[in-house]
A and B are shown apart, each in its own frame.
Chain A
Amino acid sequence: METLSQLFAILLSTIKDVIPIVVIIFGFQLFVIRRPIPHLKKVLFGFAYVIVGLALFLLGLEKALFPVGRLMAQQLTDPEFIRGSISVVGEALHWSDYYWVYIFAFAIGASTTIAEPSLIAVAIKANEVSGGAIGVWGLRLAVALGVAIGISLGTFRIVTGYPIHWFIITGYVFVVIQTFFAPKLIVPLAYDSGGVTTSTVTVPLVAALGLGLASTVPGRSALIDGFGLIAFASLFPMITVMGYAQITEKVAARARRKREHEEMEHEE
């Protein structure tokens, strides 16, 4: 019964999110373009599926994953758990004592990105547009690796207290330089994948990790240092996606050269 009322509440808030979009789309369609929408019934059903699907998805996350994940973020950042691995009590914690936090950040960043619905959408579209040259799984794994690296580096920053803009600015410089060496076709998609990664699944868990860490590490303020993980998670996918394209291009070029070589030998 409780679940049902919860589902109803989530469904209502999802519909509330969708209303502005529906109003804008159908308003422009009716008053500006003045043309009936092709396959209107199918499109409406599609919207209904998206709303129901998103509501079920959020309900499930709220019931199953978020409570455990949040609790886990709290427990892993608890100084008592981290001290458990050190023999001398009372000694100040070193940044390397937080290794479980970094590993957790890496694993949770990668796994939540794989399940991120908006990334799935973009990957499907990119695969379709590129005529299959960009694999759905290749893109998703590349983005997941980027988020994983980003979030574990972000937790390292919270532990050590280095200013966030050092990392972000260095990252920007790297992205700009890498752009000149990456295949042209991938660049816009790589830039997009930075913003796509962080929505429904990743943000709540990652925010819990950041706030938990910032409130237990001595000398950090939850309000100032708790933020910034999302920024890391949107920066690194750009680098890994361009890297993915660079590697696949190199592999394809090598295969082509090998084939040409063999053909030449054949002709001789």
Chain B
Amino acid sequence: MSNVFVALGRSMAGSLRDLLPIVVVIGFFQVVVLQQSVPDLVGLLTGLLCVVAGLTFFIYGLEMGLFPIGEVLAHSFARKGSLPWLLIFAFSLGFGTTVAEPALIAVAAEAARVAAEGGMIEATEQSMKSYASGLRYTVAVSVGLAIVIGVIRILKGWPIHYMIAIGYVLVVIMTFFAPAEIIGIAYDSGGVTTSTITVPLVTALGVGLASSIEGRNPMIDGFGLIAFASLTPMIFVMAYGMVI
């Protein structure tokens, strides 16, 4: 029993160390640069305690639940050998985890406001809402496709850098044709789609697939799914801005 507490204490200390830089930065700017006192010290300390405990629990659960399940799924799909099911799974995982992502919902609503202000759509609540949800589904489909493409790449062992370079070229070409208002949002949408729970799961899936297929190196072939998932939304969001 005492072993559990030692392990817990150690990982708490680790989380505390992870958090220390933010506390130092905010403290320094508050006291030295802005020369203001720290407001609500009690709230701050309880908040920090929550963050440390939360991070500890998260990492604990990561190794207990998220990593194993991702690997188990990858191994069973590899053993089953059914390509269509694997690809359907890859698409639903990408689509399903993105469509409900709070950061994406916020960005889509923001984008609708930009579009209305720029005169691309009518400035009514109705048309803004439909623009925002259209954008949300566009991004979710693009992430689903990204995971599918990434999984096919792992199976075939294609080198990642040619594919990413082609994606970049597409992004650059589309930048010159897309309406100026959408570009900032499109570039940002690549970064916001991958949430804290999706990333470990998708990483474990990729590494698991690469290590259960003969001739694939988990380091070279296993990583890269997230990279696709952050690239395709840019292309699709700009396309959405051009079509609408």
- Give A181 Cβ to nearest chain B Cβ, in Å: 12
- Chain B, residues 178-193, CB within 8 Å of chain A (1/0): the string is 0011011101101111
Could you tell me if B190 and A61 are in contact, using CB atoms closer than 8 angstroms? no
- Give B42 Cβ to nearest chain A Cβ, in Å: 10
Q: Please, how many residues of chain B have a CB less than 8 angstroms from a CB on the other chain?
A: 106
A111 at the interface (CB under 8 A from B): yes
Stretch at the interface among B120-128, B131-139, B214-222: B214-222
Nearest residue, chain A, Cβ from B229:
A195
Bound-complex Cα distance A42 to B65 (A): 7
Bound-complex Cα distance A168 to B198 (A): 26
A52 at the interface (CB under 8 A from B): yes
Could you tell me if A65 and B26 are in contact, using CB atoms closer than 8 angstroms? yes
A43 at the interface (CB under 8 A from B): yes
Could you tell me if A43 and B65 are in contact, using CB atoms closer than 8 angstroms? yes
Contacts of B220 in A (CB 8 A): 184-185, 187-188
User: Using a CB–CB distance below 8 Å, which chain A residues touch chain B?
Assistant: 3, 13, 16-18, 20-21, 23-25, 28-29, 32-33, 35, 37-39, 42-65, 68-69, 72, 75-76, 81, 100, 104, 107-108, 110-112, 114-115, 117-118, 120-122, 124-126, 129-130, 164-165, 168-169, 172, 175-176, 179-180, 184-185, 187-189, 191-192, 194-201, 203, 223-231, 233-234
Nearest residue, chain B, Cβ from A125:
B203
Bound-complex Cα distance A227 to B118 (A): 15
Could you tell me if B73 and A28 are in contact, using CB atoms closer than 8 angstroms? yes
Given A68-B30, A72-B30; A53-B44 close (CB under 8 Å)? no
B46 at the interface (CB under 8 A from A): yes
Q: Which of A17, A18, A225, A231 contacts B187 (CB 8 A)?
A: A231
Could you tell me if B194 and A195 are in contact, using CB atoms closer than 8 angstroms? yes
B196 at the interface (CB under 8 A from A): yes
Could you tell me if A191 and B224 are in contact, using CB atoms closer than 8 angstroms? yes
Contacts of A52 in B (CB 8 A): 54, 57, 61
Could you tell me if A64 and B89 are in contact, using CB atoms closer than 8 angstroms? no
Nearest residue, chain B, Cβ from A63:
B47
B151 at the interface (CB under 8 A from A): no
B199 at the interface (CB under 8 A from A): yes
Contacts of A199 in B (CB 8 A): 103, 192, 194-196, 199
Bound-complex Cα distance A23 to B95 (A): 13
* B77, B103, B181, B184, most chain A CB atoms within 10 A: B184
Contacts of B49 in A (CB 8 A): 60
* B30, B69, B191, B220, most chain A CB atoms within 10 A: B191
Bound-complex Cα distance A144 to B226 (A): 18
Could you tell me if A192 and B203 are in contact, using CB atoms closer than 8 angstroms? yes
Given A46-B61, A115-B19, A234-B191; A189-B219 close (CB under 8 Å)? yes
